[in-house]
Structure 1
Amino acid sequence: MDREAAQREIEKLREEIRYHSRKYYTEDDPEISDFAYDGLFRRLEDLEAAFPELVTEDSPTNRIGGAVYNTFAPVVHQVPLESLHDAFSQEELLDFDRRVRETAGPVEYVVEPKFDGLSVALEYVDGVFTRGSTRGDGVTGEDVTENLRTIQSIPKRLTEPVPFMEVRGEVFLSDGDFEKLCQRQELLGEKLFKNPRNAAAGSLRQKDPRVTAGRGLSIFVFNVQRIQGETLSGHEQSLKRLEALGFPVCPIFHKATDMEDILRFIGDLGDRRGELAFPIDGAVIKVDSFAQREELGSTARFPRWAEAFKYPPEEKETTLTDIEVNVGRTGVLTPTGVFEPVTLAGTTVSRATLHNQDFIAEKDIRIGSRVIMRKAGEIIPEVVSVVENPPESVPFLLPDRCPSCGEQVSREEGEAAVRCTNPQCPAQLLRNLIHFASRDAMDIDGLGPALLEQLVGEGLVSSPADLYTLEAGRLEKLERFGEKSAENLLAALEKSKQNDLYRLVFALGVPHIGVKNAQVLCGRYPSMEAILAAQEEELSAIDGFGEVKARAVAEFFSHGSTRDLLARLESLGLNLKSQAQAPAGNALAGQAFVLTGTLPTLSRKEASALIEREGGRVTGSVSKKTSFVLAGEEAGSKLEKALAMGIPVLSEEEFLKMLPT
């Protein structure tokens, strides 16, 4: 490869890696597997090694990874939280050992599992937990102390009053807790986390610690960053000291000098990783002696005294025996594949989501197909490809009628989802009720998923309207439900009757209509009577709506079952009129803004409030109707699209100058 071709590929790789790093570290929403990302990174490293004159300071190979939000206060790490260099073969591990011995001489290693979570630092003063932070970019992290306090396994007070101590650990979700979280997200109709690592990261970065507390996070502490009042000489000694002080330390580690012994341990650990209660994606080899670590030092990104071995994703062949179609809260039909059981990463897999019709058609998945299966992130089973299809098989198509209620299903142009549009579909009942009672909808305090499931199971509720006919006597007979609980719930239901109309519109679960769209709709049509009378053509003229949302609103409110429900809710005393107030100012009247990236001082919620206060509106995507794009650090595809379309891009400073003083 010549220099010019190398430069083109290097620039393309850097752009791809930055994009996927932002999706993984900052947005907790990866689009490719760890294995694919590692392949991109390794290719960039190889090209930069072959053409060192093309290496730049801002190359991803010179950064630890991650980014810092402005959601939390920054924390500067006095001892950097370094990343690890990855190895993918035994030969690379032997090269690592050779390099270490050439510099440090005879060594002892400690081998541990490589946890698949979010790295954090914990600080203790006189044995009391005082501050906790994320790794961030390795030098600066985020102060997430209050969220870390909700993790039960983090000791709030050590067994001894050590004057000062900073330790490093990995926050993670156990396989069981990750599956429970995914089940709950599915029940609520929320977007599912891709893997345990991103679930842990997303949970720890919640602005409300109560949300973090409900996620079931755990931690293993594996390193002493700083300590006062005593001296530690090696890693094994520090692990034992951490355990004595009350920290949760992974019980699996192995000390050895012989590389054959180490490679055998890594192989055995890989074979049984599916049996572990916590997620791992590899093993880490560390020089035990701290004095030798000092001698070996670090590169710009990695310590030279440690190496991480990444396990390759395990793939196996099996047969698809059936495809089941389920209906979600929003009416989306989701196909699930049933397979001949196969063992992957230590567990038996017999079911996996097939996502949607496009996924099935793209891979030509049919009943009877021989397929390649693997576990994404060592947790979620997925179909990689089809090996062959039986001669008599036919392409699989989702049904044209809802398998639950029999109503016709529909698919919007440009959408992958096929959905049932019947708001009273029985399959959607529990999910709809959970959404109806949720915080951004009717905000009925105390009416959570567990209680709703109980109410539905007892036959007390089969419609949102039934919630408002509940009686204390019936509620008090429920398991773990007393007189006071019944009184509080009935009071919360009564209070919710006075909610603004937009909350009810959002609570009803109109496809494509979120909270913001519900507010816009009710600003244009200030009563339910007006919404019911609105025609699709006039709805599509509302700023930010367009044909898809207009059609969704028109179809939803034209259903006889929707109108019957609304009539019943009105008879039960619910408010069906908008209480929206006019904007306080008009400096941004008629202007449409799109927000992207992280602003220096304003959160997105604060920036949106300022825009709406002055008569502007905030939309989620860039289009020809967009007036301005307000962009901060780590702005992504929305910024690129705005620049390509010639839409003005504002910094926070420029935006604030548009507001009245």
Structure 2
Amino acid sequence: MADKAVDALSENEARDELARLSDLLARANRAYHAEDAPDISDADYDRLKRRNAEIEARFAHLKRQDSPSEQVGAAPAEGFSKVRHAVRMMSLSNAFDDEDIDDFDASIRRYLGLSDSDPLRYTGEPKIDGLSLSLRYEHGRLIQAATRGDGSEGENVTANARTIADIPDTLSGAPEVLEVRGEVYMSHADFADLNARQSARGGKTFANPRNAAAGSLRQLDANITRDRPLRFFAYSWGELTAPLAETQVQAIARLKDLGFQTNPLTSLCDGPEQMLAHYRQIEKQRATLGYDIDGVVYKVNDLGFQARLGFRSTTPRWAIAHKFPAELAWTRLESIDIQVGRTGALSPVARLTPVTVGGVVVSNATLHNEDYIAGRDSEGNEIREGKDIRVGDWVQVYRAGDVIPKVADVDLGKRPKDAKPFEFPTTCPECGSDAIREEGDAVRRCSGGMICPAQAIEKLKHLVSRAAFDIEGLGAKQVEQFYTDGWVKEPADIFDLKEKFGSGIQQLKNREGWGEKSANNLFDAIDERRSIALGRVIFALGIRHVGESASNLLARHYGTWSVFESAMLEAAPMEGPAWDDLLSIDGVGKVMAQSLVSAMNQEAERASIDRLVAHLNIQEAERPATDGSPVAGKTVVFTGTLEKMSRAEAKARAESLGAKVSGSVSKKTDIVVAGPGAGSKEKKAQELGLTVLDEDGWLELIGG
């Protein structure tokens, strides 16, 4: 499946491929952003995201609510207090070749209504390979520094940021509130010196400058950060009480005047030709810059245009990252390990003889699934010319940036004579249950459910994750400890911990890392989460295909746990009004709906959910503050061609006014906005006697 052309995928294949990509990319985001321990290469990550986007473009109706295209970064790590960003920190969409840059320019002109002859300038700057940081200044004083985290919430690293020489404590002539954003990084020379010092004292050495910078900034002891040679380039901003300038290049100059380091290779470009010329010039200098970059970022220079262009769910429309090509190396495949994930997926991992690829030592690689190892796709078509992958093989690894690669090719001329084809397990290596591969699925999954230790632990880790219960003091490490000790085997056990320990203290405080205060704090944190939002509960259940966005969508639709629960029970036949209502939610597809309803109606899983819910006070879902909105609470359907705004703009505007945007017309629809070319949806709306507006009528209704 992984290598099958997108235009050759059937709808079922596309749906399953989107599910696979969602799992892979979510895991990659956690490893890179939250754990500073990336487990796939930049090139692989970009390839997976691009494939996901291509499939979503071809099968728009299959886009998942937990789609990787809707995600930014990963949740903040444990040990730091959390900071809610006043302005979300976005990621960037990627370009990989010259045609992508032409397409980017064309899309900007189309969105703004500019012709090919209208002037449109861009800035081009090196894409620093470091850790994103937001610095908040009030009245010219640094009051807070936060990592990007998941884009909405990051880690408070203020004390650490104050130790970086490139970050001023005070500013003169700055707006009353100014959030400066940029990248913390480490130079090659400083990285080599740090590793030498670490090695001499018997400490941890780092694989590359990016990991060294991230690990240094995220020290709980700021004195350790002070001892690390960190640097900072400023390139953007968040909340402002007054504009910095009228253009991007002027705003960067203003940041430099305020005392920040800005990249001297930032340049103005008149269109794609100059953008590409600047890219190639920077690429030639890459090896001599003295710090790591992995591409060039282009931004629309006019800040007024930036404001008009706005944002997609996770990326600005006015910027794009042009990535550098990947790198290759050869090494020996020493073994293949099988890891079991939260959904039971068996994931093969290659253990490699360590090899330096582009200055980074790597020793692990993803092997995707059993078909990939066998040299074929899920349809039986050959990949790598049909060459399978065996333990002992001399393999080519593929990477870009600083992370773990994939196995791209095999040198059969160096294959050991006794090398045997790899036999993918048909039973779970963790619990011995049958590992089943359903028809059309690229992944084999353990059927053991919660009796499988690997699945149980991963499900419990998911339950206490930031977007779920987010229990202070109960993270992945503690979950593993409690599971191993037999204290927590299912979600409800978490809320029985204090009762299980009697006084709640003695047994726990005698364990390594625990004392009376930390034990009491844990029990207090658990008690605080007995009252919890509906969206968090749905997400915490860890139901396959139901991500954070989908969980919040379901919460807003059903409002309360009792209504949600009843609807899922009524939808069990997967037909009838409750089933139709579930599918009518814009963004809920058949695969997600089936997974949701099945989980809520499986006897064992349902019993576990009931035991958990018995401990909780589940809050009613919050509604957007839309006082005075003429469409608050109404269901709107857009159909046909919109001429004065894009479909995405129209949807975003409607939702901001408290409307629910649906993809289908039913008796519950309140308004149908029909543009030229509207067909069956408009006809059905008229048959049902619904309110049908043209685009002008809609704009008049919502106030322009």
* TM-score (normalizing by structure 2): 0.51
Q: Is 1:158–2:171 an aligned residue pair?
A: yes
Q: Is 1:300–2:313 an aligned residue pair?
A: yes
Q: 1:135 to 1:214 in 2, by over 3 A?
A: same
Q: Is 1:74–2:98 an aligned residue pair?
A: no
CA contact (8 A) 2:120 2:271 kept: no
Q: Is 1:83–2:91 an aligned residue pair?
A: yes
CA contact (8 A) 2:39 2:364 kept: no
Counterpart residue number, 2:299? 286
CA distance in 2, matches of 1:160, 1:203: 31
Shift, 1:233, TM fit: 0.1
User: Which residue of 28, 34, 39 maps to 2:42?
Assistant: 34
CA contact (8 A) 1:29 1:193 kept: no
Q: 1:355 to 1:118 in 2, by over 3 A?
A: closer
CA distance in 1, matches of 2:250, 2:320: 20
User: Which residue of 157, 167, 176 maps to 2:180?
Assistant: 167
Shift, 1:246, TM fit: 0.5
Shift, 1:22, TM fit: 1.5
CA contact (8 A) 1:29 1:194 kept: no
Shift, 1:245, TM fit: 0.8
Shift, 1:185, TM fit: 5.6
Question: Counterpart of 1:248 in structure 2: which amino acid?
Answer: Q
Counterpart residue number, 1:50? 58
Question: Counterpart of 1:125 in structure 2: which amino acid?
Answer: E
Q: Is 1:615–2:513 an aligned residue pair?
A: no
CA contact (8 A) 2:216 2:228 kept: yes
CA distance in 1, matches of 2:608, 2:196: 42
Shift, 1:168, TM fit: 0.8
CA distance in 2, matches of 1:18, 1:379: 16
Question: Counterpart of 1:8 in structure 2: which amino acid?
Answer: D
Counterpart residue number, 1:377? 401
Counterpart residue number, 2:30? 22
User: Which residue of 185, 210, 234 maps to 1:221?
Assistant: 234
CA distance in 2, matches of 1:652, 1:618: 29
Counterpart residue number, 1:600? 470
Q: 1:389 to 1:214 in 2, by over 3 A?
A: farther
CA distance in 2, matches of 1:382, 1:40: 12
CA contact (8 A) 1:336 1:352 kept: no
Aligned pairs (5 A) from 1:174-573: 174-183=187-196, 193-228=206-241, 231-315=244-328, 364=392, 377-378=401-402, 387=411
CA distance in 1, matches of 2:364, 2:192: 17
CA distance in 2, matches of 1:362, 1:615: 48
Shift, 1:128, TM fit: 1.7
Shift, 1:198, TM fit: 3.5
Counterpart residue number, 1:93? 101
Of structures 1 and 2, the one scoring higher in RCO (CA 8 A, sep 6+) is 2
Shift, 1:289, TM fit: 0.4
Q: 1:113 to 1:219 in 2, by over 3 A?
A: same
Q: 1:179 to 1:228 in 2, by over 3 A?
A: same
Counterpart residue number, 2:680? none
For the residue of structure 1 that corresponds to 2:65, the secondary structure is coil
Shift, 1:70, TM fit: 5.5
CA contact (8 A) 1:195 1:379 kept: no
Shift, 1:267, TM fit: 1.8
Q: 1:353 to 1:302 in 2, by over 3 A?
A: closer
Q: 1:47 to 1:230 in 2, by over 3 A?
A: closer
Q: 1:161 to 1:313 in 2, by over 3 A?
A: closer
Q: 1:652 to 1:215 in 2, by over 3 A?
A: farther
Question: Counterpart of 2:246 in structure 1: which amino acid?
Answer: S
Shift, 1:651, TM fit: 7.8
CA contact (8 A) 2:210 2:402 kept: no
CA distance in 1, matches of 2:216, 2:91: 21
CA distance in 1, matches of 2:275, 2:364: 40
For the residue of structure 2 that corresponds to 1:67, the secondary structure is coil
For the residue of structure 2 that corresponds to 1:272, the secondary structure is helix
Question: Counterpart of 1:98 in structure 2: which amino acid?
Answer: A
Superposed CA RMSD:
4.8
User: Which residue of 55, 62, 66 maps to 2:70?
Assistant: 62
CA distance in 1, matches of 2:398, 2:26: 26
Aligned pairs (5 A) from 1:7-18: 7-18=15-26
CA contact (8 A) 1:175 1:278 kept: yes
Counterpart residue number, 1:548? none
CA contact (8 A) 1:18 1:60 kept: yes
Counterpart residue number, 1:585? none
Shift, 1:228, TM fit: 3.7
Unaligned runs of 5+ in 2: 1-8, 333-350, 366-388, 420-428, 430-459, 483-497, 514-525, 530-535, 545-601, 617-704
CA distance in 2, matches of 1:96, 1:244: 31
CA distance in 2, matches of 1:335, 1:3: 36
For the residue of structure 2 that corresponds to 1:251, the secondary structure is coil
**CA deviation string 1:95-149 (max 9, x = no partner):** 0011112233331000001111221111112222111111222222222211111
Unaligned runs of 5+ in 1: 321-333, 397-413, 415-593, 621-629, 656-661
User: Which residue of 143, 146, 150 maps to 1:133?
Assistant: 146
Shift, 1:288, TM fit: 0.3
Counterpart residue number, 2:3? none
Identify the range of structure 1 (195-204 vs 133-142) with the bigger mean alpha-carbon deviation: 195-204
Shift, 1:281, TM fit: 1.0
Identical columns (%): 33
Question: Counterpart of 2:506 in structure 1: which amino acid?
Answer: E
Shift, 1:60, TM fit: 2.1
For the residue of structure 2 that corresponds to 1:170, the secondary structure is strand
Shift, 1:65, TM fit: 2.9
**CA deviation string 1:376-434 (max 9, x = no partner):** 6259999976647679x9999xxxxxxxxxxxxxxxxx9xxxxxxxxxxxxxxxxxxxx
Counterpart residue number, 1:530? none
Question: Counterpart of 1:311 in structure 2: which amino acid?
Answer: F
Shift, 1:280, TM fit: 1.0
CA distance in 1, matches of 2:398, 2:287: 13
Counterpart residue number, 2:456? none
CA distance in 2, matches of 1:163, 1:11: 46
CA distance in 2, matches of 1:165, 1:264: 33
Shift, 1:31, TM fit: 1.2
Q: 1:376 to 1:8 in 2, by over 3 A?
A: closer
CA distance in 1, matches of 2:414, 2:138: 67
Q: 1:193 to 1:47 in 2, by over 3 A?
A: farther
CA distance in 2, matches of 1:651, 1:618: 26
Q: Is 1:114–2:127 an aligned residue pair?
A: yes
**CA deviation string 1:48-92 (max 9, x = no partner):** 211111223332212223223453333222222111111111111
For the residue of structure 1 that corresponds to 2:507, the secondary structure is coil
Aligned pairs (5 A) from 1:571-650: 597-598=464-465, 600-604=470-474, 613-616=505-508
CA distance in 2, matches of 1:256, 1:161: 28
CA contact (8 A) 2:43 2:400 kept: no
In terms of Rg, which structure is larger? 1
CA contact (8 A) 1:134 1:142 kept: yes
Q: 1:94 to 1:28 in 2, by over 3 A?
A: same
CA contact (8 A) 2:41 2:402 kept: no
For the residue of structure 2 that corresponds to 1:223, the secondary structure is strand
CA contact (8 A) 1:164 1:228 kept: yes
Question: Counterpart of 2:225 in structure 1: which amino acid?
Answer: T
